Amino acid sequence: MAFDYTLAQIAGRIASDLAGDGQKHITGVAPFDEAGPDQITFATGSKYLNRISAVQAGAVIVPRTCKPVPGINLLLADNPQFAFTQVVAMYHPTVPPAPGISDRAQIGKDVHLGEAVHIGAFVTIGEGTTIGNRCVIHDGVYIGPDVRIGNEVTLFPHVTIMHGCRIGHRVTIHPGTVIGSDGFGFVPDGGHYHKIPQMGIVQIDDDVELGAGNTIDRATFGRTWIQRGVKTDNLVHIAHNVVIGEDSVVVAQVGIAGSTQIGHHAILAGQAGISGHLTLGNHVTVGPMTGVGKPIADGEVVSSGLPSMPHRTWLRVQRIVPALPDMKKQISELEKKIAALEKIIANT
């Protein structure tokens, strides 16, 4: 379906100020360097703002601090990138599948389904489960017994939600993610490892979005808790009894060990590894490939991932690393000798 809006209509939708022709018709969206005369784009940062006068787009969304540019239609917004995502949604609206239950779905006893729910083919829903209004459960999803799912939840194909877990409202879970698998708990005895029963649940609060291929383990007791507004990338592992605070972001291939608590508005960058039984404060940032083995206070930024370097240099670095303790000892001894010599010289 083709969409056509005037700039005045767009400005009203995204709460922006218009500097230009309000009757200009816009038929689509595009990146800054590709947008044509009938398309809209956005610009932030000097890299793009300094080139606005040469842009071919029909309109550009810019920060409110920008001054008018002759011949260029501007929409001035508090957050141009967010405003642009709103415009993208105008031209590419999400159309959910029609409500209904596939005759190839398997629904257990005492299941309660809300209004306008879509249940796809080969979905399995266990006994005693409740699913709220306007949920979309795509093909091949497994939902275990006694699960509670809120309103307007979307589960993409092959999501698994194991027994007893709790999912809030407006949650989106992408393909292949597993919620409520057993936590990794074993106790050694007699030279063998014996499984510790995992009796808790996973609780996912409102407005959470989980990427593809996540695994979020159920608690040993109590709950593994993903709080409101958390966003995760693909291939994230969250172990048993972890708590992640509101509006935190967890990027691809992050692993969080058991019973760690992470505050609100934290950012864990790609491949960060967080040890167990730690507390990371609010507004903490952990850089990519960083191993965290001790608590982090509110607002701290930590990183330890090595920058890229020529392979031959990296080989030399790796040979030096095992010798660092002895080198430190030698340097300390040299510092003492130098201090002694300086003292002798000062007294002569």
Rounded to whole angstroms, the Cα distance separating 62 from 67 reads: 10
CB atoms under 10 Å from CB of 287, counted, come to 16
How many whole angstroms separate alpha carbon 29 and alpha carbon 44? 16
Is 240 part of the annotated catalytic residue set? Answer: yes
Residue 63 to residue 81: CA distance in whole angstroms: 9
Which three-class secondary structure state does DSSP give residue 206? coil
φ, ψ at 319 (rounded to 5°)? -70, -30
How far apart, in whole angstroms, are the C-alpha atoms of residue 131 and residue 108? 12
Distances (CA, A) of 116 to 107, 153, 175, 301: 16, 12, 22, 45
**The token pair that represents 156 in the structure block:** 């993409």
Whole-number Å distance between alpha carbons of 286 and 109:
45
**At which residue do the structure tokens 């960083």 appear?**
290
The helix/strand/coil state of 85 is helix
Q: How many CB atoms sit inside 10 A of residue 100's CB?
A: 12
Query: Please, are residues 307 and 288 in contact by the beta-carbon 8 Å criterion?
Result: no
Residue with tokens 């005369």: 37
> Which one of the listed residues 118, 158, 174, 240 is annotated catalytic?
240
Residue ranges of the alpha helices (H) in 22-79?
46-49
How far is it, in rounded angstroms, from Cα 348 to Cα 346? 6
User: Catalytic residue numbers?
Assistant: 240
